Structure 1
Amino acid sequence: MSENRHRHAAGHVIERHRHDEHQLVYVHRGVLAVRTDHGTWVACADRAVWMPAGTWHEHRVYGDSEVLTLMFATGDAPLDGTAPAVIGVSALLRELLVATTEPGLGDADAARIHAVLRDRLRRAHGRPLTLPEARDPRLAHACRLVTDDLSRPRTTAWLAQRTSTSERTLSRLFRLEFGTTYPQWRTTTRVFHAMIHLAEGATVTQTAHRCGWATPSAFVETFTHVMGRTPGSYRTR
């Protein structure tokens, strides 16, 4: 296992690439979106992204970020090596991830930390925060219409009219390709963009308005339900 710690400025992009080893990406500060051919996977303070060997992907940084990456040989992986995943990062796992990247760590200390880290990774639970990539052009168009201006609540009827399809067909495409309903997908999308705004320094009130919540309190309630922490505490962290 090898590990690295990098600091990236807001907006930094690591172009499309792949690794011969499995990669675990954790963001100690900021937000990182890992995009594959199948969707976007989000790493943040309490979630890490597992990227199997051979998977083409790119990284995009939001806010000044500190990114920790751990590489695992294909024959020695603590997690499933067949598909990308997002796992929850507990307080203990977070400290272990940080400890592995400390400069000057001796071999004996590193071996002990690695052993505990592997055990905690095997016990980690999935906490998906993923934006799947639409394949049907009608669905892709609808998604772009929503994300281009999240401050405006777009109904299925409005989207269907502008994508030259029916509400029934559009709802079916969301379920078929994303395994979710349109309102559920929009909530995840708004939370993801809210994380970006908060990481870049926006206030809770500004973020609520930019991402389409009627009131800051409604935003706080939804964000807390999805992320397990208030947007204020997330922003502070």
Structure 2
Amino acid sequence: MRNVPLDAVDHVDRVVLPIGTDYPPGHVLDWHEHRRAQFLYGATGVMVVDTDVGTWTVPPERAVLIPAATRHRVRMLGVSTRSLYIEPDAVPWWPATCTVVDVPPLLRELLVSAVEFEADYGLSGREGCIAALLLHEIAERTPLPFHVAIPPSTDLAELCREYLAAPDVGVTNAVWAGRTARSERAFTRRFRAETGDSPAVWRARARLLAAVPLLRTASVTEVAGRLGYASPAAFTTAFTRAFGLPPSRFAAGGQGGRPGRAGQGASDGSPRREDPSEAP
């Protein structure tokens, strides 16, 4: 099925409903939720998925697993999607929060084939086998670290969402502490308790995530400068350490590639101002 609203077919008695959809650049699917779990694959472009607890950036040729009944918003940047909407009872192993995953060639080809099915595709024969194999392949995927947590507190969440919309290396712990009328120490302690990271480490990772959509239309050097890194080399080191691939693999004309094993946590390398490794 292509460009079909889920509501029009959600009633169909199929565990897996494949739908392909083309979106105009910059299209936003505002806050909504699905009864079914969703496997959302971006065949082209970059997606940014927001929930109440985090933000996930989905690079080209990757996918995000969205749990059933999860309120979310998706920003589409030149995206053509291949989605699977799946009955929750059929995937008890589905993650409890959104998860970005790699999409290897076999899974990609299965998705391409599946979106050509009718809503009431046959359960025996080729179509039923493809639908079953899709679930086996998805179950084998491992998480990729393209996300940051959003604090549950309204004031901290507002700071984080503002920063994600416009990352600024000039923002410091002191600036954010002032916005919440707390001492820097008290603010940092509270932020770490709600997100698991210090504010500086969180901002460093947010800037790296912001690089992914920027790399669609700008060079590594340009993105490094816009995000406040001292040099393209410093940006490349930090990006590769966080995500397992150099930013050149996501740049316009890059090959996308398959991510390696990413490091734990993020570092800014050598930013012009704030060094998260020195933050409390």
- Structure 1 position 23, deviation (Å): 0.8
Q: Which residue of the partner structure matches residue 121 of structure 1?
A: 138
Distance 1:85 1:190 in 2: 19
Q: Which residue of the partner structure matches residue 135 of structure 1?
A: 152
Tell me, yes or no, if structure 1 residue 84 matches structure 2 residue 98: yes
Distance 1:151 1:18 in 2: 31
Q: Tell me which moved more, 84-93 or 20-29.
A: 84-93
Q: Which residue of the partner structure matches residue 29 of structure 1?
A: 44
Scaled by the length of structure 1, the TM-score of the pair is 0.85
- Structure 1 position 189, deviation (Å): 0.7
Distance 1:48 1:78 in 2: 19
Gaps of 5+ in 1: none
Q: Which residue of the partner structure matches residue 69 of structure 1?
A: 83
Distance 2:92 2:137 in 1: 9
Gaps of 5+ in 2: 1-15, 257-280
Q: Which residue of the partner structure matches residue 157 of structure 1?
A: 174
**Matched residue type, 1:122:** A
Q: Which residue of the partner structure matches residue 235 of structure 2?
A: 219
Distance 2:25 2:106 in 1: 27
Q: Which residue of the partner structure matches residue 40 of structure 1?
A: 55
Scaled by the length of structure 2, the TM-score of the pair is 0.73
Q: Which residue of the partner structure matches residue 18 of structure 1?
A: 33
> CA 1:224/1:97 → structure 2, altered by over 3 Å: closer, same or farther?
farther
- Structure 1 position 183, deviation (Å): 3.0
**What SS is found at the alignment partner of 1:150?**
coil
Structure ranking higher on relative contact order (CA contacts 8 Å, 6+ apart): 1
> CA 1:5/1:203 → structure 2, altered by over 3 Å: closer, same or farther?
same
Q: Tell me which moved more, 143-152 or 35-44.
A: 143-152
Asked if 1 retains the 8 angstrom alpha-carbon contact of 2:144 and 2:243, the reply is no
Tell me, yes or no, if structure 1 residue 101 matches structure 2 residue 104: no
**Matched residue type, 1:30:** G
Distance 2:87 2:59 in 1: 24
Distance 1:168 1:141 in 2: 20
Give the share of equivalent positions with the same residue, in percent: 32
Q: Which residue of the partner structure matches residue 5 of structure 1?
A: 20
Q: Which residue of the partner structure matches residue 204 of structure 1?
A: 220
Structure 1 residues 35-86: Cα deviation after superposition (integer angstroms, max 9, x where no partner) = 2222222323354221222222221112x11111101112212642643333
Distance 2:186 2:112 in 1: 47
Structural mapping, 1:177-188, within 5 Å: 177-188=194-205
**What SS is found at the alignment partner of 2:90?**
coil
**What SS is found at the alignment partner of 1:112?**
helix
Q: Tell me which moved more, 207-216 or 145-154.
A: 145-154
Asked if 1 retains the 8 angstrom alpha-carbon contact of 2:18 and 2:114, the reply is yes
**What SS is found at the alignment partner of 1:172?**
helix
Give the aligned length: 234
- Structure 1 position 137, deviation (Å): 4.4
> CA 1:30/1:215 → structure 2, altered by over 3 Å: closer, same or farther?
same
